Amino acid sequence: MHSVKFLHQDIQDEQTVQSMVNELLSQMGLDEKIGQMSQVCGAGGWVPDHLADAIRAGQVGSVLNEVDLNTVNELQRLAVEESRLGIPLLLGRDVIHGFKTILPIPLGQAASWDANVVSEGARISAVEAATAGVNWTFAPMIDISRDPRWGRIAESLGEDPFLCSQLGNAMIRGFQGADLAENGSIAACAKHFAGYGAAEGGRDYNTANIPENELRNVYLRPFKAAVDANCATLMSAFCDLNGVPASGNAFLMDQVLRKEWNFDGFVVSDWESIVEMSVHGFTDDDEQAALEAVTAGIDMEMASSTYRDHLENLVAAGKVDLEKIDQMVRRILTLKFKLGLFRNPYTNPEDYPALLNESHREIAKEAAVKSCVLLQNNNRVLPLNRAQLDSIAVIGPLADDGYEQLGTWVFDGNAEDSIHCLDAIKQLAGDDLIINHCKGLDSARSPSHEGFAEAVETAMRSDVTVLVLGEESFMSGEAHSRANIDLPGQQQQLIEALAETGKPIVLVIMAGRPLTLDRVVDKVDAILYAWHPGTMGGPAIADLLFGVQSPSGKLPVTFPKAVGQIPIYYATKNTGRPPSEESCIHMDDVPPRAAQTSLGMASFHLDAGYKPLFPFGHGLNYGDFHYVKITTSRSHIALGESIDIAVDLINSGVHAAEEVVQLYVRDLVGNVTRPVKELKGFRRIKLNPGQRTRVGFSLHTDDLAFYNRHMQLVTEPGQFHVWIGGSSDAPLWAEFEVHP
Ligand code: NOJ
């Protein structure tokens, strides 16, 4: 018997939903409530008896990792037709950067600095996932990541809270659409709340220690933005934050999320992170872990079963308030109503467009085009000039590998659907260009130099070499951190061997993180950083190489010269002894027995200086952009007012191109020290050769707010510097003053 009356209800408004939720809640036993708070793993293509029985008994609120449509519909049927109250299931899946049509990894998408592209990508991912009955995804990951050793930087949107907030919200919009009940909308889950990106040493799952002020000014900002954008759910992090595991962290889950931000969605724990609190040494056993988690405010438990095993006893013992449980269940049921699951829990694939259709592939290609970052282009070797070329060598283990280009977190996409670089280059080259191909290395990690002679010979009989190197998919992502982030294996040696030929080299890198390329930059002419670009990586890269389109990506994260510089990010503090070109000396230039105080006495590394290899926001294109005449609309503004800042942007090159124009601000004096620069705006501007335009931004004094040492969000009157340019290194600046 099921509660048929709910099945055909249309959701009219928030009030109707709440009254339906309350009515349903009033019919539920405690065991059924706890069932709603439990998420279990699917078996992958079939329904085991124990799962069917648990669903019938109302012990399951959500199933994750089941994408076989018949199985999904059968799970829903069991819940709706055979459980006492007929409550449909949430079906969760990690759709991190695409379902069947794989987009660039999130860090790559962040390099597009294009909210429309990111949102469209999330939309097609949602539509494809919904075709398999998925109604909830565990994305976006909006952990601020300032450590490229951390494997999960690949899943992140980079180092900057402003960029991450804008693009995280774009993903949420794409997944959730205008209405969660619409076909193709699925619930989003902003994760991992909070601080996971600060895992010590970049080692996954490691402890995170973040002072509250930095937590609020940096790490929590994208989550606040996600809450404001109506993200349906949040996920707690695996890590302990300042000594308290996130899944038992009442400061995060209750104080910040509920009391300060009024979040009305629900929070799911990460996979077994509740039981892991005992492994952290925070709780004695599963029962205590359940108590800590529920007390902190984790509404649903993923994968482990401490809620199912212990919550009833905890309520009976008076340790957990029933009203608290009711509130949690209300949030979960509310989402089910909003998703329209009571109206129609089943999925009919005919309601959806085909997976991997042409338009989805086009969107994936555009995302890949916009996410590639041209780091270097000496002598303008790119775009390849067909008129001057007879032959191209395409070399490298990743040139024809449809699997590795997909990157981490690909559960549902297939390598066979990828178009790799070699095929795409051949296709674009047509009959008038000879493409000579060899691998050079069997795999990205291969220790053997056996293929080097053939690679050199291939380069020698070609006019230019396109060398496709980087990381395999498995080298980034969850639990896949690296301590050394050079190109793996013998790739550096292959570059050196090919550099000896004297032929121009265009290096295309596919990777899940920034790599340390200090020893690479002077051996090659151009570097196109493609991240792991997804299904359509090949055609996107081929278009860029041949100039069918201009690169336009910008780095969402700083590229260090050496791993020892980490953490290195543009929004650093000034320190009491800021480094400068003059103060910074290399140890090779220091005479023997130099006195301790004879050097610059500033904040830098003797062997690496203080600058990164490539700064945040950097990225070249085929145009030739210049910024001139920065102006502010006023020199003084009062709190509550806005100021306009503008520059002239000129493309004096011979190619049309798109530039991501960036706005940075510095608050010179603060109640807590302020970053030397903070991104406050960005715009993509396309200019034809010779074209000039005025690009403006408006800044409100609220945009300058930060958490002071009393944890109050304030804009302090005072002096501000403002920059507009093509990277965080932009030289053109102006100033203004804010007065009370
Ligand atoms: C663990 C990961 O940390 C999380 O991001 C993911 O969503 C869950 N597993 C579910 O697969």
Contact in structure between 620 and 667 (CB atoms under 8 Å): no
Same domain, 520 and 661: no
Closest of 437, 532, 525 to residue 475, by C-alpha:
532
Q: Is residue 264 in a domain?
A: no
- Nearest ligand 1 atom to the CA of 155 is 5
Protein residue with its CA nearest to atom 1 in ligand 1: 271
Q: Is residue 226 in a domain?
A: no
Q: Where residue 702 sits, what CATH number does that domain have?
A: 2.60.40.10
Give the residue from 545, 574, 592 where a domain finishes: 545
What is the spatial distance between Cα 433 and Cα 444, in angstroms, rounded to a whole number?
27
What is the spatial distance between Cα 298 and Cα 160, in angstroms, rounded to a whole number?
27
Same domain, 372 and 325: no
Give the residue from 545, 575, 607 where a domain finishes: 545
Same domain, 717 and 639: yes
Tell me phi and psi for residue 480, to 5 degrees: -115, 65
Tell me phi and psi for residue 657, to 5 degrees: -160, 165
Same domain, 403 and 512: yes
Q: Is residue 484 in a domain?
A: yes
Give the residue from 492, 522, 545 where a domain finishes: 545
Written as one letter, the residue type at 293 is A
Parallel, antiparallel, or unpaired for β 657-667 and 678-687? antiparallel
Q: Is residue 560 in a domain?
A: no
Range of the domain at 634: 625-739
Same domain, 473 and 372: yes
pLDDT computed for residue 19 by the predictor: 95
Which helix (H) or strand (E) segment holds residue 322: the answer is helix 322-338
Provide the 3-class DSSP secondary structure of residue 650: strand
pLDDT computed for residue 11 by the predictor: 60
Q: Is residue 278 in a domain?
A: no
pLDDT computed for residue 10 by the predictor: 55
Q: Is residue 272 in a domain?
A: no
Pocket of ligand 1 (CB under 6 A): 94, 138, 191, 238, 270-271, 478
Closest of 661, 662, 663, 657 to residue 686, by C-alpha:
657
Considering the candidates 114, 147, 240, 270, report the single residue annotated as catalytic: 270
Q: Is residue 530 in a domain?
A: yes
Same domain, 331 and 458: no
Same domain, 331 and 400: no
Is this model's pTM higher than 0.85 or not? yes
Q: How many domains does the chain have?
A: 3
List pLDDT tens digits, range 116-132.
999 999 999 999 999 99
Ranges of residues in the chain with a pLDDT under 50 are 1-5, 8
What is the spatial distance between Cα 322 and Cα 318, in angstroms, rounded to a whole number?
9
pLDDT computed for residue 8 by the predictor: 46
Same domain, 384 and 506: yes
Provide the 3-class DSSP secondary structure of residue 585: coil
Between the CA of 339 and the centroid of ligand 1 the distance, in Å, is: 22
Q: Is residue 279 in a domain?
A: no
270 belongs to the catalytic site: yes
In 28-157, which residue ranges form alpha helices assigned H by DSSP? 30-36, 49-56, 69-82, 106-111, 115-131
List pLDDT tens digits, range 358-403.
999 999 999 999 999 999 999 999 999 999 999 999 999 999 999 9
Same domain, 459 and 385: yes
Between the CA of 211 and the centroid of ligand 1 the distance, in Å, is: 25
Same domain, 399 and 537: yes
- Nearest ligand 1 atom to the CA of 139 is 7
pLDDT computed for residue 2 by the predictor: 47
Q: Where residue 424 sits, what CATH number does that domain have?
A: 3.40.50.1700
Per-residue DSSP letter, 591: P
In the chain, the percentage of residues whose pLDDT exceeds 70 is 98
List pLDDT tens digits, range 291-303.
999 999 999 999 9
Same domain, 486 and 378: yes
Same domain, 376 and 488: yes
